[in-house]
Amino acid sequence: MTAEIITIERHILEQQRRFPKATGELTALLYDIALAAKIISREVSKAGLVEILGLTGEENVQGEQVMKLDVYANDTLVRMTEHTGRLCVMASEEIPDLIPIPDKYPCGRYVLLFDPLDGSSNIDMNVSIGTIFSIQRKVSGGPRGTLGDCLQPGHKQAAAGYVIYGSSTMLVYTTGQGVHGFTLDPSVGEFLLSHPNIQTPSRAKYYSVNEGNYGYWSEGVRRYVDYLKASDKAAGRPYSGRYIGSLVADFHRNLLAGGIFMYPADTKDPEKPHGKLRLLYEAAPLAFIIEQAGGRASDGKQDIMQVQPESLHQRVPLFIGSKEDVDKAEQFIREFG
Ligand code: AFP
């Protein structure tokens, strides 16, 4: 055996030791989430085998059909964290309102916001899906967490991460000390450090966008995508297109290989003028990760990390990935709208 084996528990603890004043609460919360991820991963890997597949017949707050695994992932995250005394309130992409911590449990210093199973319409097709989470600090003064604790801009996050259920299960997280990736070894049930200090290339090779929406985009976005496809050998264009339609999978691929993912605003659905993705559960946590990896995230005009949330399920246009490419997308939007 040559390489040192570092479990996620050891890694999180070692990061905590750099902060002598840390109480260990955030460390423990991250470990709770890792444990929930293992349980969700176990069920996801059985998706094709058991009757858990299929629709519950309910719709979530976004008007999308909810699949049983979404409900399972949501409940698992809530059950693994609500009793610990580390959280003051939670919010989930699957639940319309705040998820309070029951009175019988102590109230903690942190807020957990999550998308329990993103890309779930892909489950039946055996495409990679993921869990995304964001951790904020309690800022309200009362005895329990409030909506205001959830509606904080991305730059205030204490930690963020995602789990990708792919050819292997990986957990990637940041607490503002770089981005670190762990691969689940199913034989021992541990996440082991496999991708320390991930840095994303400053220029992309790939672009990821649902080009079926081309006709619904603004002039600036259309021109930018045309530019990416135009041949210019010296400038490294055209870029290659990669679009899975599962945000965590698209993001993870671009993070490692260098790429830009876009879900721009469009005119397709008048109910969703800001695109499809949610600020609190998708855009902000991935923005924290990409910034820590040397990339950028923008809504086309400003950094996602600066956007002040106004409601729990707010949507936002997203341009995220290699820094120079996000800068360029913004430039086209500035010039052409
Ligand atoms: P589902 O959870 O309904 O599969 O949606 C996935 C998602 O929110 C995100 O993971 C994808 O990036 C995006 O939607 C894909 O949307 P389009 O199907 O409109 O391209």
Residue 40 banded pLDDT, cuts 50, 70, 90: very high
Confirm or reject: Cβ of 108 under 6 Å from ligand 1.
no
Burial environment of residue 44 by CB neighbours within 10 A (0 to 12, 13 to 18, 19 or more): buried
pTM for the structure as a whole = 0.94
Q: Find the mean pLDDT for residues 181-208.
A: 95
In angstroms, rounded to a whole number, what is the distance separating the alpha carbons of residues 86 and 105? 10
**Among the listed residues 253, 313, 245, 239, the one whose alpha carbon sits nearest the alpha carbon of residue 282:** 313
Instruction: Give the pLDDT of residue 48.
Output: 65
| Residue bearing tokens 């084996």 | 5
Top-confidence residue, 273 or 3: 273
Mean of all residue pLDDT scores within the chain: 92
Task: Report residue 109: phi and psi, to 5°.
Answer: -100, -5
CA of 287 to the centre of ligand 1 (A): 17
**Alpha carbons within 13 A on the beta-carbon side of 84:** 24
In angstroms, rounded to a whole number, what is the distance separating the alpha carbons of residues 147 and 217? 32
CA of 43 to the centre of ligand 1 (A): 21
Nearest atom, ligand 1, residue 263 CA: 12
Q: 307-332, pLDDT tens digit by residue?
A: 999 999 999 999 999 999 999 999 99
Instruction: Give the pLDDT of residue 52.
Output: 47
Report residue 272 as tokens.
């969703």
Report residue 231 as tokens.
């041949």
Contact 204, 239 (CB under 8 A): yes
Q: Is the pLDDT of residue 215 over 90?
A: yes
* Bridge pairing between strands 296-298 and 206-208: unpaired
Q: Find the mean pLDDT for residues 3-20.
A: 85
Instruction: Give the pLDDT of residue 127.
Output: 92
Instruction: Give the pLDDT of residue 327.
Output: 98
Least confident window among 26-30, 73-77, 244-248, 319-323: 26-30
Confirm or reject: Cβ of 120 under 6 Å from ligand 1.
yes
Contact 170, 205 (CB under 8 A): no
Instruction: Give the pLDDT of residue 81.
Output: 97
What is the three-class DSSP state of 280?
helix
What is the three-class DSSP state of 157?
coil
Residue 60 banded pLDDT, cuts 50, 70, 90: low
Q: Is the pLDDT of residue 63 over 70?
A: no
Q: Find the mean pLDDT for residues 78-92.
A: 97
Q: What is the C-alpha R_g of the chain?
A: 19
Q: Find the mean pLDDT for residues 277-291.
A: 98
Nearest atom, ligand 1, residue 261 CA: 12
Ligand 1: residue of 247, 253, 318, 319 to mutate (most ligand atoms within 8 A of CB) is 247
Q: Is the pLDDT of residue 57 over 70?
A: no
* Bridge pairing between strands 110-118 and 129-137: antiparallel
Q: Find the mean pLDDT for residues 183-198.
A: 95
Nearest atom, ligand 1, residue 277 CA: 8
Q: Is the pLDDT of residue 67 over 70?
A: no
Q: Find the mean pLDDT for residues 80-105.
A: 97
Instruction: Give the pLDDT of residue 329.
Output: 98
Confirm or reject: Cβ of 213 under 6 Å from ligand 1.
no
Q: 122-143, pLDDT tens digit by residue?
A: 888 889 999 999 999 999 999 9
Top-confidence residue, 242 or 120: 242
By alpha-carbon position, which residue is closest to atom 17 of ligand 1?
Answer: 245
Q: Is the pLDDT of residue 217 over 90?
A: yes
Instruction: Give the pLDDT of residue 58.
Output: 62
Instruction: Give the pLDDT of residue 49.
Output: 59
264 to 171, 213, 230, 337: CA distances (angstroms): 27, 9, 20, 12
249 to 88, 194, 214: CA distances (angstroms): 30, 17, 22
Instruction: Give the pLDDT of residue 82.
Output: 97
Q: 254-279, pLDDT tens digit by residue?
A: 999 999 999 999 998 888 888 899 99
Top-confidence residue, 218 or 56: 218
Instruction: Give the pLDDT of residue 78.
Output: 98
Residue 20 banded pLDDT, cuts 50, 70, 90: confident
Q: Tell me, letter by letter, the H, E, C secondary structure of 53-120.
A: CCEEEEECCCCCEEEHHHHHHHHHHHHHHCCCCCEEEEEECCCCCCEECCCCCCCCCEEEEEEEEECH
